[in-house]
Structure 1
């Protein structure tokens, strides 16, 4: 049973002193405090569902990748029966990492320190010189197995939690699942990763990135202004494009949930008019999806969409689909329609995580994805444009990764640590007329409600005991 608490830091500050739920303000100190970081590892990353990998990274029995689940190293493995497991990468003998490899294939994980061996599911097999019983007789082999996480596979995505008796993965997604299904569960064969994830280290607090990833729209107008000056939204010869004005891209529908999951759903009408010259209001959902398929979907795959989703979901997919959003606590997804020089549109599909490595350091990881049935030439174009914009060398990420370290540095200042992050731009309207989807919904120009939902759930978890 959950109960409320209000943990106190060593200087007498309570969690409730750091966030003002009435004025929607958060003390900047939250982006640098070491004690707070340690609490987050226990109260958030040890209790929520965390995205770790895509199952196509481990396609064969024996395959594994090493990942971080908050501050803990884990192995994501596939056993001989094809089942996926997540186990703590810490030997139960003397706490050596069982595997020091980023990835590999083995049916027996052997610790290099004393040779203790474990199956892909974490079960302890034994130690060298079995007749001497190196592992002793005080504990059973079951007790000496690696710690096992609870695993959920969703649209090929691998999530795990240490909270084995907590909410199910579907409960954790809540209202967001209705929308996420239209992104991650679109085709029979599903998605695949286009190579291993890109990674780089950023000297910043993980929340600086994660709260922006909770569908922040405002920063696009200024930090990414170049998108409208020289980028894919720049004015084209003959008058097409919006020049430096990205304001039209800020209108749409935004959705947020009680568990901090969010998404920005951007109107496709302008794109359809520009590409086809047709009035999107006069087209059926099938026609709209055919002339402007979702990123990674070709017209040939549209019949699969029609067969898999409800009329209400198809309505959203063909008018205001989710294009940017997050998985709480530290995941961000992008399903973006990007105009090209020849007037066509290429889709970019990427998934980021911001892996905490301390109060002022995290690892940025970027996966590029495509539907398995997407033609090879389309996959190549998606990979190229995704890397150019969204990956380690991506121009968008160069913008973002410049601001987060500055925020973290100033958060350590004697005076500036008391400055507040403000989320006071609020939607004053509810769901647009005819909007069929669940969750908290606002329409019009982008606002702060999505970012604020991240902090509301952060506050709930940080002030709740199991």
Structure 2
């Protein structure tokens, strides 16, 4: 039974007790319990800003794609004025899905059941045989449109929420926006998608992937240890053994009270190894020229100063954000990929872990490129990002193998009583002279970013409805 004053599950467990602040533990039942899952659809996905795609997926009037906000399917469309709209894909007449396609182009969304028709902005047009007034006279046409979400575009990314009077998108991002701007709003013309997103289903609870996206760097040492052993990623010691990946675990991590997270990784090592230059002797501009941000061509570097502050450029050339997440279910990767010829290629990817039930998620992967990037660079980014971070990519084969095992463990009679532990705590604070906002710590990666992800989950799940 759920009440506004004391949220409680059917067995008497308080939702607040699923996350234990004193010991930084989370009960494993949260990764399998159907009752918890249903509450998440209402209290998290029904309230916060959901990432749905990129506006370059619907460039023309009448273009639309169908996506999901938690357990609800929505239509994302562009109208004749160029505005982007997000509408519940449920016909208000008999509940049929208005669109049964993944996407397309139309100026009229028509339900196949009884023919009710809607404009790209969701407004009701009418029903067949208009003289018979088959939509009735009890409600006016203005009341019979598709349910509309509140929409915002951020660097071309489409976000929407059902919480029409709730916090603004900027409030939702908070201090994390300062860092996200370095990724999504760094160039004059911005980013665009390289084709439709890849999609596949994983038999796992969405939070197993979602909390990892909150900047879990530690798993790279073991789950992705091949990065130091094979191919262009191999680093060999003088005796021929594989080099230790642990130096890559040092950097700066940014936490957020809203569960957003970023891992900022030292750029000096890459500049030294790839160019032979001493980063300490280089200016900000010289560092940008020596190693442009991941995904940018050297000819685009001049755009950075027009779109970012000097303080942001300082971070971008020392500890640039490379991986992290946007609460609750988005992972981004703007990473440097070493090439056989000693050069570096950037990879730009966004993952969404869309809930499909207590033990199922849909992995959706967008690959991005700068609109101003040369075609040859875009093709290389697409190819290498698919190989690494695509639905069959080398990295994602590792990650997507663990989530089902974790979900199965959480179903066990004894397993669901165990706890996830986030007890590796930063004791450092921000580096001296760090210009950016937020909860900032430096050093070897710890559990703080993921723990703050769970604390915001707890806050939303226990808030009054």
What TM bracket, shorter-length normalisation? over 0.9
For residues 48-94 of structure 1, the C-alpha deviation after alignment (integer angstroms, 9 at most, x for no partner) is 00100100000000000000000000001000110000000000000
State the partner residue of 1:35: 35
Q: Residue 66 of structure 2 aligns to a residue in which SS? A: strand
Residues 233 and 241 in structure 1, CA contact (< 8 A), matched pair in contact too: no
* 1:233 Cα deviation after fit: 2.4
Runs of 4+ displaced beyond 2 Å: 3-6, 238-244
Aligned 8 A contact 1:234 1:241 in 2: no
Q: Is the 8 A contact 1:155 1:184 kept in 2?
A: yes
Unaligned runs of at least 5 residues, structure 2: none
Match in the other structure for 2:183: 183
2: CA distance between counterparts of 1:242 and 1:362?
Answer: 38
Q: Supply the distance in 1 between the matched residues of 2:126 and 2:231 (Cα, whole angstroms).
A: 58
- The residue number in structure 2 matching 1:445 is 444
State TM-score, norm by structure 2: 0.98
Scaled by the length of structure 1, the TM-score of the pair is 0.98
Shift of 1:232: 3.4
Distance 1:430 1:444 in 2: 9
Match of 1:374 in 2: 373
> What SS is found at the alignment partner of 2:435?
coil
Give the aligned length: 463
List aligned pairs for 1:300-449, cutoff 5 A.
Answer: 300-449=299-448
Summarize the Cα distance change of 1:394–1:255 in structure 2 as closer, same or farther, 3 Å threshold: same
Distance 1:203 1:290 in 2: 44
Q: Does 1:9 align with 2:3?
A: no
Distance 2:233 2:249 in 1: 13
Q: Tell me if 1:131 matches 2:131.
A: yes
Deviation of residue 240 (structure 1)?
A: 12
Q: Secondary structure at the match of 1:404?
A: helix
Match of 2:223 in 1: 223
Alignment match, 1:68: 68
Alignment of 1:235-274 (within 5 A): 235=235, 243-274=242-273
The equivalent residue for 1:146 is 146
| 2:219 match: secondary structure | helix
Residues 366 and 240 (structure 1), Cα distance of their counterparts in 2 relative to 1, 3 Å cut: farther
Q: Write out per-residue CA displacement over residues 25-66 of structure 1, whole angstroms, 9 at most, x where no aligned residue.
A: 000000000000000000000100010010000000000000
Distance change in 2, residues 1:457/1:280 (3 Å): same
The equivalent of 1:459 in structure 2 is 458
Give the match's secondary structure for 1:180: helix
- Provide the rounded CA distance (Å) in 2 between the counterparts of 1:377 and 1:408: 41
**Equivalent residues in 2 for 1:75-86 (5 A)?**
75-86=75-86
For 1:180 and 1:240, locate their aligned partners in 2 and report how far apart those are by CA, in whole Å. Answer: 41
Q: CA deviation at 1:442?
A: 0.6
5 and 293 in structure 1: CA distance in 2 versus 1, 3 angstrom threshold: farther
* Other structure's SS at 2:248 match: helix
CA apart distance, 1:393: 1.1
1-side partners of 2:404 and 2:338: how far apart?
A: 31
Q: Is the 8 A contact 1:331 1:353 kept in 2?
A: yes
What residue in structure 2 maps to residue 47 of structure 1?
47
RMSD of aligned residue pairs (Cα, Å):
1.4
SS of structure 2 residue aligned to 1:65: strand
CA offset digits 1:349-386 (Å, max 9, x no partner): 00000000100001000000000010111111111110
- Conserved 8 A contact 1:228-1:242: no
The worse-fitting range, judged by mean Cα deviation, of 239-248 and 56-65 is: 239-248
